[in-house]
Chains A and B, each alone.
Chain A
Amino acid sequence: MKGRYEDENLYWIPVLIIFVFLLPFILKGLSFSYKYYLFVLNMAGIYIILNVGLDLLSGFTGLLSLGHAAFLAVGAYSSAILVDQFGVPFALSLILSPLVAGLFGFVIGFPALRISGMYLGLTTMGFGFIVKRMIIAFREWTHGSGGLDVSSPVLFGYTIKTDWNNYFLIYTFVVIAVVAGRRIAKSKIGRAFMAIRDSEQAAEAAGINLAKYKMLAFFISGLFAGFAGVLFAHTSSFISTDHFDILLSIYFIIMILVGGVSSIYGAVLGTLFIVLLDNLFVPLLKDQIHFWFNTQAGDIQSLIFGLIMFLFIIFQPMGLYGMWLKMRIYWKLFPFNPRQRFT
C-alpha cells in the first residue's frame, strides 16, 4: 500500500469515521436540543455530498458552475417521482436518480466544450433557471410550483423516519462520497482534470482528450449532486422549486471557496463551516440585530455570507484548508520559519 498513499497521513481517518458515527450519541448526552443539531448536521451532510462533486467540477477541472442547485433538483424530483409515482424501491432509486442527474450533466456539458470561464458560469446559471421552470412546466408529475410530498426512505424493510435515523443514512453516504472524491481526485482522471484547469492547450498537447474529460467532469459532478438530491428529497419529506434557488447555487460555490478550492477536505470543511454558521450562529445574531433594524433573517444571513466570501477571496484565497496547511508547515519548521511566507 505504500507509494500510493505516501503523501498523506491516513491513521486519523478511521478515528474520524468512528467519531462521525459516535457524534449523535455524544450530542444526545450533552444537549437537550440534540435533535435540532442532528437536523442541521443532516443538511450539512447532504451539502457535503454535493460540494464534493462541485469541487471536482469547479475546483479541479476549473469549470465554474453557478447552477448546481439544478442538479440537486433533478436528483430530488426524479427520485420523488420514481419512488412515489412509479413504485420503484428506494434502494434502486438511489442508483437510478443520480444517473438521471448525471445525464443532465452530459446535456449541460455539451456547450461547455466550446466555452469556459465566465461564459460557462452564465450558461450554468441559465441552466439553473431553465430546469426550475421545466419542473414547473411538467406539472402532471411535479405538481408545479406547489411542491411535492415525498415518502420516507425504506431500506431493507425498515422505514427511516427521524433525524436520528436519517443521520446514519446520510453520513454513511457522506463517508462514501468523500472517499470516492479523494480517490477520483488522486487518480488518472483527477490528474487529467487538474491539467485541464491549468491549461487546456497544454493538456491537449499532453494527450488528454478534452471533450471526454470535460463531459466526465460534468457527469461525475451530476452524479454526486443527484445523490445528494435523492437524500434531500426523502429526508426532508417535502420539496418544491423554491428549495433550488439561484442563491443556493451561489452558496454552494461560497462553501467550496471558504473551505479551499480544489481540495476535497476543503469542500467538507467549508460546507460544515457555512451550514453551522447559518443555523447556529445567525439565529443568535438575529435577535441582537432585531433591536436596531426591522428586517428579515434572510437578509442578515446573506449579508454575513457575502461578507465572509468577500473577505476570504481578498485575504485568504486558499480557504480554511489552506490555512490549516500553512499552519501545519509553520509548526513543522517552528524555530526556523521564514515569517514572510506565512502572512
Chain B
Amino acid sequence: MTDLFLGLTQEIISGIALGSIYALIALGFTMIFKATEVVNFAQGELMMVGAYVNFFFVTTFLSAAGTPTAWTFLVALGGSMIFSVLFGYILDFIINRPLKDEPIFSVIMATLSLAIIIRAVVAIIAGPISLMPFSPFGDSAISFGTIIVSVLDLSIIGSAIGLVIIFYYIFHYTRWGIAMQATSEDPIAAQLMGIPIKRVYALVWIFSAVVATLSGILLAPRIALLDTTMGFLGLKAFPAAVLGGFGSIPGAIVGGVILGVIETVSMGTLSFHFQWIKEINDIIAWIVLIAVLMIKPDGLFGVEKVKKV
C-alpha cells in the first residue's frame, strides 16, 4: 500500500512538471486566441524551434568556452530570447496580418501549413539525426524523505510558476498589458480609445513566441532526444486548453497541469495495475478531449457564448 502511495506521489510530481509545459504552450496560444481569434496550430513548432535554437547557442558557446558553466546556459537563454522576439514579430507579419478576418477554416489550415513548413525547414537545416540536449542540472535529484524528485522537474515547475506570475503582472498592472486586455475585449472600441492595436497584436505574438521558446528550452532536456517530432507534443496542449475552457488563461494553466498528471499516472501506476490502460495511454489526452467536449464543451473555466445569426 505504501509502495503504491509512494509511486503515485512521485508520478503526480513528475506529471505536474510535464503539465507545466503543456500549460505554458496552452498559455501561448490562448493569448493569441483571445487577442486575435487566430487558432495557432504551430505553437508546438514554435516550441521546437526554441529548443533547437537554444541547443545551437549552447553548443556554440560550449565549443568556444570548453567546460559548461552557468553563464553558458544563461547567455544561450538570452540569445534564444532575442531570436524568439524576432520570430514572433515575423509571424505577426506573415500570419496575423493577412489572416485576421478570414474564416476559421482558412486560419486553421494556414497555421497548420506553417507548422508543416517550420518542421520541414528545421529538419532540412538540422539534418535527420536527433540531438542530445544538455541539461544545466545534469541528472541530479533531491529526496524529500522517501520521495525522490529530479532537479529538472523542480526547475520546470518553478520556472512555470515564475512565468505565470510575471505574465499575470504584465497583464494586469502595465499599460501594454491593459491595452492587450482591452484589445481582446473589443478591438474596435480599443482602437477608438487610441490603442495602437496593430502594435498590440505584434506584442501578443512576440509574447507567445517567447513563452513557446521558454517551454521548449525547459522541455528539451526532459525528453532526452531532440528531434522534429517534438512539435507534435504541442498538439497535446489543445486538449489541455479545452479541458480548462478554451480562451481562458487560468483554464489553460489548470487544464495543462491536470492533463500532465492524468498522462503520467496512466502511463505509470494505472498501466501497471490494469492491462487495458497500457493500450490507450498515448491517446489518453484525446480521449479526455472528446469526453470534455461531449459532457461540458465549455471546460472548467470557460464562459458559454451565445451565438447570434
Contact = CB atoms under 8 A, between A and B. Distances in A.
Contact of B113 (A121, A136, A199, A306): A306
B127 interface: yes
B236 to A, nearest CB: 10
B3 to A, nearest CB: 29
A92 B289 CA distance: 36
Contacts of A130: 283, 286-287, 290
Nearest to A112: B293
B117 A307 contact: yes
Contacts of A199: 309
Nearest to A119: B293
Contacts of B132: none
A337 to B, nearest CB: 26
Given A115-B293, A129-B286, A202-B309, A309 B113 contact: yes
B112 interface: yes
Contacts of B282: 133
B165 interface: no
Interface in B244-261: 246
B38 to A, nearest CB: 10
B91 interface: no
A299 B297 contact: no
A119 B113 contact: no
Q: How many of chain B's residues touch chain A, expressed as a range?
A: 35 or more
Interface in A118-134: 118-119, 121-123, 125-127, 129-130, 133
Contacts of B242: 119, 122
Nearest to B129: A294
B121 interface: yes
Contact of B110 (A127, A296, A313): A313
Contacts of A313: 99, 102, 106, 109-110, 113
Contact residues of A: prevailing secondary structure = helix
Contacts of B286: 125-127, 129-130
Given A111-B294, A122-B238, A201-B307, A137 B120 contact: no
Given A119-B242, A123-B289, A295 B127 contact: yes
Nearest to B282: A133
B121 A126 contact: no
B118 to A, nearest CB: 8
Nearest to B279: A137
Contacts of B267: none
Contacts of A201: 307-309
A254 B290 contact: no
Contacts of B279: 133, 136-137
B293 A111 contact: yes
A302 B287 contact: no
Contact of B104 (A114, A117, A202, A293): A117
A137 B120 CA distance: 31
Contacts of A294: 127-128
Nearest to B238: A122
Nearest to A58: B105
Contacts of A19: none
A62 interface: yes
B294 A295 contact: no
A322 interface: no
A30 interface: no
The SS class assigned to the B binding surface is helix
B194 interface: no
Given A122-B238, A126-B289, A303 B121 contact: yes
A118 B293 CA distance: 12
Contact of B109 (A62, A114, A122, A309): A309
A36 interface: no
A314 B39 CA distance: 16
Contacts of A202: 309
Interface string A297-308: 001101101110
Given A121-B108, A295-B127, A296-B123, A126 B113 contact: no
Most chain A CB neighbours (cut-off 10 Å) among B98, B283, B307: B283
A110 interface: yes
Given A122-B238, A300-B124, A133 B280 contact: yes
Nearest to B117: A306
A261 B105 CA distance: 10
A257 B282 CA distance: 30
Contact of B123 (A123, A299, A307): A299
A130 B99 CA distance: 31
A250 interface: yes
B34 interface: no
Contacts of A117: 104
B90 to A, nearest CB: 14
Given A111-B294, A299-B120, A302-B116, A122 B289 contact: yes
B239 interface: yes
Interface in A39-63: 58, 62
B77 interface: no
B105 A64 contact: yes
Interface in B152-199: none
B294 A306 contact: no
Interface in A205-253: 205, 246-247, 250, 253
Nearest to B294: A111
A250 B106 CA distance: 13
B150 to A, nearest CB: 29
Contacts of A303: 116-117, 120-121, 124
Closest A-B pairs by Cβ, 4 of them: A126-B286, A306-B116, A303-B120, A306-B117
20 contacts: A58-B105, A111-B290, A114-B294, A122-B242, A125-B286, A126-B283, A127-B290, A130-B283, A246-B232, A257-B109, A293-B125, A295-B124, A296-B128, A302-B117, A307-B113, A309-B109, A309-B116, A310-B110, A310-B114, A314-B98
Given A118-B108, A303-B116, 4 more contacts: A64-B104, A127-B290, A250-B112, A295-B127
